């Protein structure tokens, strides 16, 4: 399959963006059973591709993503497509067809349009991004394209599945505690979480504001850098977005070469009990490859890692309980108004019927942690633990340039396997939560496959690189290096992708 | 830590969530289990640490001080479940007279 970079270059040189969009739309239709998308507007997507072809024909210059179909997690506001957050709360009557129509575009969406990308559809997710398996979508779950009995990960499972199955070249996701990195690992694609403050969140429906970040999914590290470069950078409409210029990561990659002399930290807490042996072998092999290429492995300790899950699930739910107060049935979305109900009943009934079980659980946990008498024991305690976790990383990055770890303790688990016990689901986030709490950039990239077993095909395994705050350039350079050093493994692409129209797309395919 | 049904009902009132009886029971069990788990934070030595509420952005941006058009009233009301007289309509919540 050609890269998004190549596709954009070919569209700039006269290839048809409409053909590329049509191929993506056809593949989305053929793979509708995956449940990856919540909303696709074929005619609108084709019209925007035709407009790009017309501008090219007139000799106008085209942007960095010229004609590239990009899938959008349905947590981002798009003015010409419904935005539901996979929740009944953002519909008029509980049906997907009556989704909320935002009056504006998120900043990242404006930037995609300005770069001449094709917004190919809105992807499925765990309701309000709360979940690690995509089973919390109010409409339908997403299936893992490698094995449809398994979860694609979450919460950005639709975006990860879209790229893995060859339904779009690129996708946007959001990551609060691992929601880009874990589904990328489960689906065998690259997923990157930028630093806190690197990408504007204007138009992102907030879950936990001190943690939420928007980032790219792609087939390779360079394509992820391409999309990151388009969305990153200052935005006057988001006061939490840094005014530092974005890092221009694609240009900084060691194209065709590798970086040597990196100090790569291997934190021992990420390789302890609970880690699947196949995952450990694959991640350690990645470490060995880096070492053989002239980089230095540094064993180290991040002693507060084990407190990440407790810290995260107190802070994220506390913030969610506040952020989700805006869904009150008054200004948009679902309103349940029984005859004679007063305003407080209207709120409680709308929220009680609009939110799903996991969202209610988190609002309840967060409200409890913030409530009188419990604030010091839970919320403040978690804020202190967060400071200790941040300090672990600060000390580590005095000695190393990047950290290499697993993304998740296991490959993709089965749908339904963890739904009975929310705590078991939360514990599977152990390796992604600390970088979120510390606001650090991190990337998940494929590093191996499990051995196929009876009834189970080989499944992808991901590894995670973490860099210091705002060090995206270092992160992408290290990830590009590792990807090259693992190229001889010839990791397979997803069988669903090999069948997709994007996979068979070549110069003739869209020459017109 | 065991959370009672009454505590769940109290928190649900604070959170403005109407719960069915089976939801209340399930939440009491789930929250008890989760709070047992997060109690591990109590064992941490936090001497010298200050609570971290947000990650500071290294350079806080200042936008240009120029007037931009706000959202039009009609646009804001387009998705309202109920609107009247150019405003969001809700049940009466103040007694007249």
Predicted pLDDT at A253: 98
Q: Does the reported pTM lie above 0.95?
A: yes
C-beta separation of A379 from A314 below 8 A: yes
A-chain CB neighbours of B66 within 8 Å are none
A9-13 contact pairs (CB < 8 A, 24+)? A9/A66, A10/A507, A10/A510, A11/A52, A11/A56, A11/A62, A11/A66, A11/A67, A11/A68, A12/A56, A12/A61, A12/A62, A12/A66
Closest CA to B63 of A276, A213, A297, A200: A200
- The CA angle A276-A123-A479, to the nearest 5 degrees, is 45
List pLDDT tens digits, range B5-61. Answer: 999 999 999 999 999 999 999 999 999 999 999 999 999 999 999 999 888 766 666
For residue A444, report the phi and psi dihedrals to the nearest 5 degrees: -110, 130
ipTM associated with this complex? 0.94
B79: nearest CB among A100, A348, A363: A100
- In degrees, to the nearest 5, what angle opens at C-alpha A159 toward C-alphas A154 and A162? 125
Place of tokens 């952020």: A323
Active site residue A371: no
**What's the pLDDT at A315?**
98
Cβ atoms of residues A404 and A286 within 8 Å? yes
Q: Please pick, among A156, A162, A179, A444, the residue that the annotation labels catalytic.
A: A179
The whole-number pLDDT of residue A7 equals 97
DSSP A138-186: SS-PPPBTTBTTB---SSSHHHHHHHHTTS-SEEEEEESSSTTHHHHHH
CB contact under 8 A, A384 and B16: no
CA-to-CA distance for B63 and B86, rounded, in angstroms?
31
Residue in chain B nearest A92 by alpha carbon: B81
| Nearest-angstrom CA–CA distance, A205 and A106 | 9
Q: Residues with Cβ < 8 Å from A473, sequence gap 6 or more? A: A247, A248, A249, A252
Of the CA atoms within 13 Å of residue A210, those in its CB half-sphere come to 21
CA dist A387 and A374 (Å) reads 20
User: Which of A330, A377, A390 is nearest residue B88 as measured by Cβ atoms?
Assistant: A330
Q: Are A225 and A479 in contact (CB under 8 A)?
A: no
The residue of chain A nearest to residue B82, with distances taken between CA atoms, is A330
Q: How far is B97 from chain A (nearest CA, A)?
A: 18
Distance CA A429, CA B56 (A): 24
Quick check: A304 and B14 CB within 8 A? no
Residue A235 belongs to what H/E stretch? none
A156 belongs to the catalytic site: no
Question: How does strand A296-300 pair with strand A263-267?
Answer: parallel
How far is the CA of A178 from the CAs of A160, A234, A462, B65, in angstroms? Answer: 12, 23, 13, 37
pLDDT at residue B97 greater than cutoff 50: yes
Specify the pLDDT at position A506: 67
Which residue in chain B has the smallest CA separation from A315?
B53
Contact A310 B37 (CB under 8 A): yes
Task: Answer yes or no: do A337 and B91 touch at CB < 8 A.
Answer: yes
A352 vs B14, B18, B42: nearest CB: B18
Q: Which residues contact A444 (CB under 8 A, 6 or more apart)?
A: A180, A181, A182, A184, A185, A190, A191, A192, A407, A462, A463, A464
Burial classification of residue A168, based on how many CB atoms lie within 10 Å of its CB (0-12 exposed, 13-18 middle, 19 or more buried): buried
Whether residues A367 and B14 touch (CB distance < 8 A) is answered with yes
Question: Which segments of chain A have a pLDDT < 70?
Answer: 506-512
Tokens for A390, please give them.
């941040």
Rounded Cα distance, A282 and A455, in Å: 22
pLDDT at A510: 53
| Catalytic-role residue among A27, A48, A73, A162 | A73
Q: Which of A242, A371, A426 sits opposite B59 (nearest CB)?
A: A242
Could you tell me the CA-to-CA distances from A347 to A324, A331, A355, B17 in Å, in that order? 12, 11, 12, 7
What's the gap between Cα B32 and its chain centre? 20
* Interface contact A197-B55, CB threshold 8 A: yes
Nearest to A184 by CA among A443, A449, A434: A443
Q: List, for residues A160-178, the tens digit of each pLDDT value.
A: 999 999 999 999 999 999 9
Size of interface A-B (CB pairs under 8 A): 185
Residue A73 catalytic? yes
Check residue A379 and report its DSSP letter.
I
Percent helix, percent strand, percent coil in chain A, to nearest 5: 40, 15, 45
């Amino acid at each position: 399959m050609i890269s998004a970079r190549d596709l954009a270059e070919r569209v700039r040189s006269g290839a048809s963006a409409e053909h590329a969009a049509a191929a993506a739309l056809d593949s989305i239709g053929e793979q509708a059973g995956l449940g990856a998308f919540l909303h696709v507007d074929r005619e609108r997507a084709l019209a925007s591709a035709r407009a790009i072809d017309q501008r090219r024909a007139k000799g106008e210059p085209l942007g960095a993503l010229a004609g590239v179909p990009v899938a959008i997690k349905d947590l981002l506001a798009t003015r010409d497509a419904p935005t539901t957050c996979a929740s009944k709360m953002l519909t008029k009557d509980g049906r997907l067809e009556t989704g909320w129509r935002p009056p504006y575009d998120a900043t990242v969406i404006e930037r995609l349009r300005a770069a001449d990308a094709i917004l190919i559809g809105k992807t499925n997710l765990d309701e309000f991004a709360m979940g690690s398996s995509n089973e919390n979508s109010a409409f339908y779950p997403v299936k893992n394209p490698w094995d449809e009995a398994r979860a694609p990960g979450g919460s950005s499972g639709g975006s990860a599945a879209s790229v893995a199955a060859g339904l779009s070249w690129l996708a946007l996701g959001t990551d609060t505690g691992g929601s880009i990195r874990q589904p990328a690992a489960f689906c065998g694609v690259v997923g990157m979480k930028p630093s806190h403050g690197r990408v504007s969140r204007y138009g992102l429906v907030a879950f936990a504001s001190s943690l939420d970040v928007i980032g790219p999914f792609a087939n390779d590290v360079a394509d992820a850098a391409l999309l990151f470069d388009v969305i990153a950078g200052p935005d006057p409409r988001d006061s939490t977005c840094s005014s530092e210029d974005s890092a221009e990561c694609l240009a900084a990659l060691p194209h065709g070469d590798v970086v040597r002399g990196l100090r790569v930290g291997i934190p021992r807490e990420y390789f302890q009990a609970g880690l699947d042996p196949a995952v450990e072998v694959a991640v350690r092999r990645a470490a060995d490859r880096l070492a053989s290429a002239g980089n230095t492995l540094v064993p180290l300790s991040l002693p507060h890692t084990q407190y990440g899950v407790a810290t995260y699930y107190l802070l994220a739910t506390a913030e969610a309980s506040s952020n989700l107060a805006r869904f009150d049935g008054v200004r948009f979305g679902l309103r349940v108004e029984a005859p004679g109900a007063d305003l407080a009943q209207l709120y409680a009934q709308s929220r009680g019927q609009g939110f799903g079980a996991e969202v209610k659980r988190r609002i309840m946990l967060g409200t409890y942690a913030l409530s009188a008498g419990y604030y010091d024991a839970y919320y403040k305690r978690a804020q202190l633990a967060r400071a200790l976790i941040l300090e672990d990383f600060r000390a580590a990055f005095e000695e190393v340039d990047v950290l290499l770890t697993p993304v998740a303790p296991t490959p993709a688990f089965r749908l339904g396997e963890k739904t009975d016990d929310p705590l078991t689901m939360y514990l599977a986030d152990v390796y992604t939560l600390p970088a979120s709490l510390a606001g650090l950039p991190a990337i998940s990239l494929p590093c191996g496959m499990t051995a196929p077993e009876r009834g189970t095909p080989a499944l992808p395994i991901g590894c995670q690189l973490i860099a210091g705050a705002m060090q995206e350039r270092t992160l992408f350079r290290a990830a590009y290096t590792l990807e090259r050093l693992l190229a001889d493994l010839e990791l397979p692409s997803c069988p669903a992708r090999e069948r997709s129209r994007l996979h068979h797309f070549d110069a003739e395919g869209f020459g017109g | 830590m065991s959370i009672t049904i009454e505590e769940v009902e109290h928190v649900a009132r604070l959170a403005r969530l109407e719960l069915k009886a089976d939801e209340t029971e399930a939440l009491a069990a789930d929250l008890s289990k989760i709070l047992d788990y997060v109690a591990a934070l109590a064992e941490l030595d936090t001497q010298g640490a200050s609570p971290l509420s947000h990650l500071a952005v290294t350079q806080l941006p200042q936008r240009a001080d120029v007037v931009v058009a706000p959202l039009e009233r009609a646009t804001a009301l387009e998705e309202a479940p109920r609107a009247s007289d150019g405003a969001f309509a809700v049940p009466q919540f103040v007694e007249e007279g």
